[in-house]
Amino acid sequence: MTSRARNWVSTARRRDSDDDLSVQELSTLTIQGTDSPYAGETDTVLAQAVRGTTDAIGKSRTSYPRGLLILLYCVIIGTLLLGHHAYRYYFDAVTPLFETDQQSAPNLLPDLSPQEQELWLRRRDEVVGAFRHAWGGYRRDAFGSDEYAPVARTGLNLSSRGLGYTIVDSLDTMLLMGLTAEYQDARQWITAHLDFDIAGESVSVFETNIRVLGGLLAAYHLSGKDQLYLERAVDLADRLLTAWTSTGPYPTAKVFLARSPPGTAAHLLEWQTINVQAKGQVSLAEVGSLQLEFAYLSHITGDPKYHRRAQDVMRALHAIPTLDGLLPTFVNVVDNTPSAGQVTAGAHGDSYFEYLLKQWIQTRGHPDQQALRDMYDASVEGIKRHMIRTSLTAGVTLVGELWLPFLGRVPWKKYVNDYNRGVKNRPEFIPKAEHLACFLPGLLALGATRGYSLAAIRAGHSRRTKPHLTPRDQEDLDLAEKLAYGCWKMYNSTATGLAPEYIRFDYDRFGQSPYYTHTTDQDRHSTTANDVNRPRTGWSAPAAGFGPQPKAWAVDADYIVPPDHAYNLLRPETVETLFILWRITKKPQYRDWGWQIFRQFQTYSFFKGGGYTSLKDVTVVPPEREDKMETFFLAETLKYFYLLFSPDDVLPLDQYVLNTEAHPFPILDRVTP
C-alpha cells in the first residue's frame, strides 16, 4: 500500500473514564485532494485490478513451486468466473481508537485487491477535495457566519449575529480527514469569537444542541480532550438548561441564550413568550434529540444535571400511551398528550426514533436503558405495521406517513383505547416518502446488529448475547435493505441523479403493509399499561393526499415529484444509510451507489467559484441553483461519503455512536452518573 493510501492508524492508550486520545495519537492521512470536481476515473480500474493480480503471480513464477502456482492460478480463474464481487473474508484485528473494557470485534473485511483498495482511497481523497472546496469558499466569503451563499459570496445567519454554526459543525470532519491547517483556523475562531451572549433573541434548542453542542463534544473527544471545547460546551449546555422550567419535563422549542436566571419573573416571562409562540406544543424530534449530547456531557464532567434533564423528557414520553408503539409528532407540554394527528419518520419525528435506539447503544445496552430499547422496538413494529408499502408497478418498498383522523376531537387515551378495541379511529396512510426518512434503513440495520458486520456476528465475535441474528433482527435487516433501495431510486430516477425533498408514490390502496398481521412480542412492545398490540381485521387504507398533482413531474410509473418539493438541499440521510449498510453487509452496491451520488453532487451542486449549492428542481437539466450551502453538507454529507469510502477502523460502529448531525461520541463502558 502506498503512502497515499495510508489508513486510519491509532495507538490505543488507556487514559481516563471516557477513553479519549490525544490529537497526536489520532490517525494522519496523506491526502492529495483536488478542487476539481473529478479525477477522471473509469470503471476499467476494476479490470486493471484483476490484471494486476495475475501479473503479480506471473512475476513471482520463479519464487514458488510449480504446484503452488497452478493452485493460485486456479483460484484467480475461479474468481474471474464468479465476478470481481466474489469475496473471501479474513481476520484483520485492528487496534481500536480507544481502549475499552471489552475490545472491538475483529475487523472482517472483503479481501479487496491492493488496486481496489487504492481506488476507494482515491475516491475518498476526492471527498476530501470536495470538503476543501466547500470550506475554502466559506472561509473566504462568510467566515463566522452560520451558513454560506456561494453564488452571492456572502454569509447567512440564523440569528442577527450568528454562532458560526458551519465552523463548529465542521470541526470533527476536519479532524477525521486530517485537515490540520483548516482545523487550526477554525479553532482560533472559536477561541476568539464563539460567544453565546446573543441578547434579545431566541435560538432553536434542537438545532443548537445537535450542531453546536454536539460539534463541540465530538471535537473535544477527537482532539484528545482539548479543554477549549469542553469549556464552551459546558457554557452552552448551562444556557440550554434554562429552556426547562422548574415544573415541566419538556424544554421549550427555543431559548434565549443570554437569558435571565431561572426562577426569576423575567425568566418566566421569557418562557411564556416562547411557549405562546410554539402554541404550547413541542415535536418529538425537538425534545427527543437531546439525550446523547447531554449524557456524554454528564459523563465527561461528572455532573449528572444534564443527563437527568434529558431523561426527564424520556420518562414523560414513556408515560404516554402509544398506538402500536407510535406517537403523533407533536405533544402538548401542559397535559403531556399528543396534539396533532401526524405520525412520521420524516420532519419533526425522525431523530426521536433515532435517539431511542442510540441512547441504548451509547451505554452498551445497559439494563437501566432497556425501556428505551423497548420503546424503539415497539415503534419499529408500529412503522412496519402501518407505514410500509410497496409501490404499485415496480414493487419498491417505501416508508410513508400516517394521519390519525379526529384526534383533536377525542382525548388521546380514549383514541388509543377505541383503536385497540377496533371500534374506530383507523389510521390513514399517506403515500409521501421524505428524503429525511432515508435515515431509517440505516437505523434498522444498527438495531438489528448493533453495528457489527454480519461476518463478525456469524463468526461469533460480537458482544451480542447470541452470535447470530434473531428472526426479527433478520427481518429488520431485510427491510433496511429494501428501504435503502427505495431511497436510492429517489436519486436514480431523476434527470439529475439527485433526490428531491420528497416524493409521492402510487400503491395498492386496497392492500396493507406486508407486516400488517404481525403479532408483537409483548416483551419487546411498549412498557406502558395501556398499550395493546394484537392483530385486527384489515381495512382499505384511503390514499390520503394522493391523486393528480398539478404540474407534477412523473419520475416513473410509481413516483411523482411535487413541483414545490423538487429541490435538493445536499441532505445526508441516504449516504448515512449506505455507509451503515456497507459496514454491516459488505455488499459492494452500497459503495457504488454512494459513489454515483457523489458524482452527481460534483456535476450539479459543485460551484466553481467556491462551495456547493442546493438545487431548485432535480427533475430538469441543467437545474437552477438555490444559493445556499447548509452546514450539514460539511458536518454530515461529506463525512458520510468519507466514511463510506474508508476502511472499517475509521470510527468503528461498535465503538462509536453518531448523533443526528453525524457527530461521533464514544460508546461508554459505564452508565453516566
Integer Cα distance of 461 and 480 in angstroms: 23
Active site residues: 207, 350, 501, 573
Integer Cα distance of 137 and 607 in angstroms: 9
CB 628 within 8 A of CB 614: yes
Number of helices (H), then strands (E), in the chain: 22, 22
Q: Is 160 exposed, middle or buried (0-12, 13-18, 19+ CB in 10 A)?
A: exposed
Integer Cα distance of 458 and 485 in angstroms: 24
Query: What one-letter code names the amino acid at 529?
Result: A
| Backbone torsions φ then ψ of 280, nearest 5 degrees | 70, 20
Helix (H) or strand (E) holding 114: helix 114-141
Helix (H) or strand (E) holding 283: strand 281-283
DSSP string, 361-375: HHTTT-GGGHHHHHH
Integer Cα distance of 231 and 223 in angstroms: 14
Strand 664-666 and strand 342-343: the pairing is unpaired
Distance of CA 181 to the CA centre of its chain: 27
Integer Cα distance of 216 and 224 in angstroms: 12
CB 247 within 8 A of CB 263: no
CB 438 within 8 A of CB 397: no
Mapped to the 3 state alphabet, what secondary structure does 35-63 carry?
Answer: CCCCCCCCCHHHHHHHHHHHHHHHHCHHH
Ligand-binding annotation for 660, yes or no, is yes
148: β partners: 155, 629
CB 480 within 8 A of CB 581: yes
Query: What are the cell numbers at 353?
Result: 426514533
Known binding-site residues for Ca(2+) equal: 660
Known binding-site residues equal: 660
